[in-house]
């Protein structure tokens, strides 16, 4: 049976413009600790939808894992603005804490 990465990589190969497949592939990479491989797929999702908060949250966290603190801070601040605007209280709290840890 193929792994989640293999399943979603195949889906992305069939439909490279499908942001949901890209998001799922990025999450599968993160689940395996493969943060660098997740980044371009999260970046694709961020570019695809200006108001999609979760790829920004997860991309920021991936940047933290990769030691890319400046990129992480920028992305998490972007996600925080969306969380506030969309009234997502739990992600807002989580993002504020993550940003405090970066400072």
Q: What is the pTM of this model?
A: 0.94
| Interaxial angle between packed helices 89-102 and 69-85, expressed in degrees from 0 to 180 and rounded to the nearest 10 | 160
pLDDT at 50 over 90: yes
Tell me, what CATH number does 66's domain have? 1.25.40.10
- pLDDT band at residue 103 under the 50/70/90 scheme: confident
Q: Are 30 and 38 in contact (CB under 8 A)?
A: yes
Model pLDDT for residues 18-44, shown as the tens digit of each residue: 999 999 999 999 999 999 999 999 999
Domain encompassing residue 70: 4-102
For residue 101, count other CB atoms closer than 10 A to its CB. Answer: 10
Q: Please give the average per-residue pLDDT across 9-26, as a whole number.
A: 98
pLDDT per residue as tens digits for the range 65-99: 999 999 999 999 999 999 999 999 999 999 999 99
Task: Look at the block and give the residue holding tokens 């193929």.
Answer: 2
Q: How many domains does the chain have?
A: 1
What tokens does 66 get? 């990769």
């Amino acid at each position: 049976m193929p792994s989640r990465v293999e399943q979603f990589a195949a889906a992305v190969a069939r439909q490279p413009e499908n942001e949901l497949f890209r998001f799922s592939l990025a999450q599968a990479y993160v689940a395996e600790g493969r943060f660098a491989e997740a980044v371009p797929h999260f970046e694709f999702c961020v570019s695809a939808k200006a108001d999609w908060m979760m790829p920004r949250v997860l991309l920021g966290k991936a940047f933290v894992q990769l030691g890319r603190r400046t990129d992480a801070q920028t992305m998490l601040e972007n996600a925080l603005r969306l969380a506030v605007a969309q009234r997502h209280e739990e992600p807002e709290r989580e993002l504020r804490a993550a940003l405090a840890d970066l400072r």
